[in-house]
A and B are shown apart, each in its own frame.
Chain A
């Protein structure tokens, strides 16, 4: 099921489908994000925003306003 990264819950593992924001795309793919990459939501800040995800072994933080442009689908177990 496809949804945005801003909608997932702590501990959920997902796979990147696509990034839908032109400027954000460049930044994120430079940081190593690409279609098919597995992400895990590690924590949310108090008040639920920003969020921290695990990506390629490092931790990335982004605001929900940024995360909503990342389309993901639940990883198959």
Chain B
């Protein structure tokens, strides 16, 4: 049976969803809109059911394009998501507001189950609810008390699904014609006010507040956490802890994953006979997969912390204190988390923009997110810094190399904010959203919910980013393996004639051959083809090749330099590669990797939109090629101009 979950935001809807479906859930999109659609399956004694979690709303009437899904699915019985049974989750501690949506659903006359969730909170607040009396007003709808956070009431809910009389004749809550047209705001307002009047009338007998016990702990915490000094201070402190985890501690499992895939690659290389298939796996597919899986520890940790902050209720305080600061940039308090996530990886960052109701603010956040330096850029930055920035110290202890790295991060952040200001002026979108939201009370996080969130998000990342990165890796492998007939053979023959080749050892001979092959391949030709375009930036065709392969993932830049300079992959510190790169000379005898070229490359990597996976996710999230293409063009222009200016100034 098709069952749908409805409810206001913050009523524990997702707790109930997790409680019923566990890990048997999947995240997709509702057709035509950009909000996520969570669905899953679960069994009752009698049947198997398909459960869909609808976005949390206060009413069936939409305020944004995304909320239209609720209205559309309910008003059209042919709709794919039209439910055969709707479970309405209400917050028992706030019945008045929560019953509005329930009474609207009631008037659709679909079979309903009403769940009074957060029963414990209501009790703690001294609210007594006369369930029998409430039942009297809605005789055909079973009413169930639950405390989903600790799993209480699940059996009752499952039993109710089986025992419900689906054919029962239903009366109306409100006698007027229902529902109103989607655009008729005035009629909607009138209807909502009438409903509230009637709800308040009913509640007079149903709900008794013994005493209004305020949540004093929440208020006390708020006094500190949204304080004009301590609020920001604590937020920055929390961020530092998170970054410590995702950059320092995550490096350990990341190295394991990396190492095991290197082992797997060489194992496959030895198992399969030499040839194309061997190459495809050991040099194309396996490194491609490794490039995706390597980021799992970071992404999982990042989502763990975000889910923890969200579950505890702290995140809405961050939105509250950051909103005013973000607004001059055309952003929103809710842009903060996506932008911070993007420092690990832009993909989870872009997925996290779903909470931003205002479409324009959301689009701007999505477009600028990839300018935050993600962790795939770190290997590129560190290599280039080691190459061209001297290892000296300011005042004897401040590392110049460290300062440059910091400057690159700031360059990304500042240009992201500046771009946001420009976009704010030029992007014209109606569909104005509001910041109006409820600030939930602080709660102890439920580990189970956090665990499920992390698993789901990692799945989305691996799948969305993975298929693109894998596809690009294979394409690049083909381009690097094949060349116009005879071209590669010529290059190899030429290389084999050199003095150096004849006198060197076996290992070095192999790397020279692969380097020559790459030069003769389609990618080598592409690198040479774009050389005139990138010469003003201080690059030669070899760097051109590395720029092209970076479109799979930025960190591939480093690996491709190894191949192209025929350096045997050595240590973490890249000693061999660095000395080779330092010796590389231009035709006029000057070094290729001068300070100017190095800085120009760093600037290029700060700005350039080189991540196809991110573009694919932007396309998916915005439902149009318009935004990812705009992003590609803007960031490409910034990268080219930025690199051009830095090279010309320094050269």
Interface residues of A (CB under 8 A from B): 22-32, 34, 42-43, 45-50, 52, 56-63, 66
Instruction: Provide the residues of chain B in CB contact with A46, threshold 8 Å.
Output: 226-228, 231-232, 321, 324
Majority secondary structure of chain B interface residues (helix, strand, loop or mixed): helix
Query: Separation in Å of the A70 CB from the closest CB of chain B?
Result: 11
Instruction: Provide the residues of chain B in CB contact with A58, threshold 8 Å.
Output: 94, 97, 438-439
In angstroms, Cα B41 to Cα A53, docked, is 40
Contact, CB under 8 Å: B320 / A50: yes
Query: Separation in Å of the B117 CB from the closest CB of chain A?
Result: 15
Interface residues of B (CB under 8 A from A): 58-59, 61, 63, 93-94, 96-97, 100, 125, 185, 188-189, 192-193, 196, 212, 219, 222-223, 226-228, 231-232, 316, 319-321, 323-325, 333, 432, 434-439, 441
In angstroms, Cα B231 to Cα A50, docked, is 14
Contact, CB under 8 Å: B189 / A52: no
Which residue among A25, A45, A47 has the maximum number of chain B CB atoms within 10 Å of its CB? A45
Instruction: Provide the residues of chain A in CB contact with B219, threshold 8 Å.
Output: 42
Majority secondary structure of chain A interface residues (helix, strand, loop or mixed): mixed
Contact, CB under 8 Å: B437 / A61: yes
Residue on A nearest B91 in the bound complex, by CB: A58
Instruction: Provide the residues of chain B in CB contact with A23, threshold 8 Å.
Output: 63, 185, 432
Instruction: Provide the residues of chain A in CB contact with B97, threshold 8 Å.
Output: 31-32, 56, 58
A-B contact pairs, 28 of them (CB 8 A): A23-B63, A23-B432, A24-B434, A25-B185, A26-B59, A26-B192, A27-B63, A29-B193, A29-B196, A30-B58, A32-B100, A34-B196, A42-B219, A42-B222, A43-B222, A45-B324, A46-B228, A47-B324, A50-B323, A50-B324, A50-B435, A56-B96, A57-B94, A58-B97, A58-B439, A59-B439, A61-B438, A63-B435
Query: Separation in Å of the A64 CB from the closest CB of chain B?
Result: 9
Query: Separation in Å of the B372 CB from the closest CB of chain A?
Result: 24
Instruction: Provide the residues of chain B in CB contact with A61, threshold 8 Å.
Output: 316, 319-320, 435-439
Contact, CB under 8 Å: B432 / A45: no
Contact, CB under 8 Å: B94 / A29: no
Partner of B434, one of A22, A27, A34, A57: A27
* 3 closest A-B pairs by CB: A46-B228, A32-B97, A59-B439
Instruction: Provide the residues of chain B in CB contact with A24, threshold 8 Å.
Output: 434, 436
Instruction: Provide the residues of chain B in CB contact with A31, threshold 8 Å.
Output: 58, 97, 436, 438
Query: Separation in Å of the B225 CB from the closest CB of chain A?
Result: 10
In angstroms, Cα B219 to Cα A42, docked, is 9
In angstroms, Cα B100 to Cα A58, docked, is 16
Contact, CB under 8 Å: A34 / B94: no
Query: Separation in Å of the A36 CB from the closest CB of chain B?
Result: 11
Contact, CB under 8 Å: B438 / A59: yes
In angstroms, Cα B357 to Cα A66, docked, is 15
